[in-house]
Amino acid sequence: MRRTDGIRRKMWVMFVLQLAAISFATILGVYGAATVLEDVLIKQALTEEAAHYWHRVQANPQALPPNTANLRGFLQPSGQGVDALPPYLRGFELGYHPLQRPGGHDLVYVSDWPNGRLFLVFKQEQVDRLAFFFGFVPLTVVLLIIYITLYFTYRASRRALSPVIALAGVVRELDPLHPELSRLAPEHLPSDADGDVLVLAGALHRFASRNEQFIERERNFTRDASHELRSPLTVIKVAADVLEEEPGISDFGQRSVQRIRRAVRDMESLIQAFLILAREGDVGLPDEDFELNQVLREEMDKAQDLIGGKPVALELAERARLMLHAPSRAFAVLMSNLIRNACLYTEQGSIRVIVDTAGIRVTDTGIGMSAEELAQLSTPFFRAQRSGSDGHGIGLNIVRRLAERFGWVIEFSSEINVGTTVSVRFPKASVVAE
């Protein structure tokens, strides 16, 4: 699924947010100006108009209240009732009062003077029209200019980023297994790509070329190692079998032959594990549906030689049958290392491999480990200090890496001089009905 959170979308979101913020600020500013015009300037004008009228009354007691197209005055002489006032003005106290009427709205200002009370009624329709023409019309023009400017700015920014977006598209469409590195070459970028984009493309091209060389080197190594390392081991194994059949071989020679055969088997297991882990992504082994119990029986038979003459019972408890879709050889290498590790560190008692619906547990009565030693289990070449075994110290590191590669979950618990339990869970395993 293609992701939609790239540079282009982020840039679009940024411009939209910027446009919304500028529009909001502009509208708020014009609205504030209109409010100041209506609420401050008009009220100030009415106050000054009332003061002017009272000064006229001082000069001419017979002066009439204002009467213009937008302003109408009504006088309530001192000592008289409200009967001389229009009904809609009766009851107003001193100050400013909104007055709704059919077809519009007015603002009433009431002021007192020793000669009486003055009511000024101001028609606000004209002010509203002026506020519209001198406020919202310029606002519309300003917003249009802002929108057009931001649109062309966005187009210019998009053109500037188009080489980067094109480069990202090429990288996204590359096949990791068979990449066409020539598509990353700087000369294949758009002609308007700037210097920074060319530097980025060149760096990616060099990195991808270097990475392809590493991959080819890894393929050559795994192919050569698979053949060149196994061939000498096969020769050693055959020679050990022939030597074991040699008449008159001493008991010491027999023990030496058995030790050689065990070492060969360990080396075969290590080589197989290393070849699996050396490959990135494709392990070189086919996925298949196999029964874990069957592979475990084979590994338990191979582990009998590791016990030797030690008083250790090797048991397999099959409480369930599990099926798994994965490379069976990888599972065999993992279990071989766990069982081998238990055999190396157990001098007496038992080693039990339990299969149930939760997974597989390998339990031994060996020397056990402390909390500090458990914390270092995945450290390459780490070995318990109290062990006299000839292990290599890399088995559990291989186990951890194999589990991570295939998504298996492995857990360790141990107690000194009591034993160790290793639990392996396979999230994609299925239980076979009996």
Does residue 187 have a pLDDT over 70? no
Checking if the pLDDT of 2 tops 50, the result is no
Task: In whole angstroms, give the CA distance from residue 395 to residue 339.
Answer: 10
* C-alpha span between 50 and 55 (Å, rounded): 9
Q: Per residue in 222-240, pLDDT tens?
A: 666 666 777 788 888 888 8
Q: Mean pLDDT over residues 203-215, rounded? A: 75
Plot region of 349 (φ>0 → left; ψ -120 to 50 → alpha; else → beta):
left
Region 76-98 average pLDDT: 84
Taking every pair of Cα atoms in the chain, the longest distance, rounded to a whole number of angstroms, is 153
The pLDDT of residue 207 is above 70:
yes
Distance CA 322, CA 234 (A): 33
- Domain residue limits, the chain: 7-140, 281-431
Contact 404, 334 (CB under 8 A): no
pLDDT in tens, 98-147: 888 776 778 889 998 877 888 999 887 766 666 666 666 777 787 788 88
Structure tokens of 245? 């059949």
Count how many Cα atoms sit within 13 Å of the Cα of residue 203 in the half-sphere of its side chain.
6
Regarding the domain delimited by 281-431, which CATH topology (the fold level of the hierarchy) does it fall under?
A: Heat Shock Protein 90 (3.30.565)
**0.75 exceeded by the pTM?**
no
Residue/partner pairs of 172-179 with CB below 8 Å, 24 or more apart = 174/208, 176/281, 177/282, 179/208, 179/212
Residue 65 · residue 118 · CB < 8 Å: yes
Q: Is the separation of the CB atoms in 140 and 78 below 8 Å? A: no
* DSSP secondary structure of 323-365: EEEE-HHHHHHHHHHHHHHHHHT-SSEEEEEEEETTEEEEEE-
| Pairwise pLDDT comparison (284 vs 28), residue with the higher score | 28
Q: How far apart are the C-alpha atoms of 262 and 149, rounded to whole Å? A: 80
Q: How far apart are CA 164 and CA 101, in angstroms?
A: 64
Reduced to 3 states, what is the DSSP secondary structure of residue 275?
A: helix
CB atoms within 10 A of CB 292: 25
Higher pLDDT, 289 or 246: 289
d(CA 203, CA 186): 9
Residue 64 dihedral angles phi and psi, to the nearest 5°? -85, 150
Instruction: Please state, in angstroms and rounded to a whole number, the distance separating the CA atoms of residues 262 and 259.
Output: 5
pLDDT grade, residue 1 (50/70/90)?
very low
Residues of the chain with pLDDT > 70, as a percent, come to: 79
Per residue in 296-351, pLDDT (tens digit) is: 998 898 888 788 778 999 999 999 999 999 888 889 888 988 998 898 889 999 99
Alpha carbon separation from 15 to 9, 155, 293, 306, 309 (Å, rounded): 10, 11, 62, 71, 79
- Distance (Å, whole) CA 142 – CA 359: 71
Provide the mean pLDDT of the chain: 79
- pLDDT grade, residue 363 (50/70/90)? very high
Residue 36 makes CB contacts below 8 A (sequence gap 6+) with none
Alpha-helical segments (H) within 37-176:
42-59, 125-131, 137-173
Residue with tokens 């758009």: 190
Residue with tokens 């019972």: 313
Residue 72 bridge partners (DSSP): 67, 121
**Residues contacting residue 431 through CB under 8 Å, at least 6 positions apart:** 320, 321, 322, 323, 357
Task: Give the confidence band of 352 by pLDDT, cuts at 50, 70, 90.
Answer: very high
pLDDT tens-place string over residues 24-80: 877 777 777 666 666 677 888 888 888 888 888 888 888 888 888 888 899 888 877
* Helix, strand or coil, per DSSP, at residue 179: coil
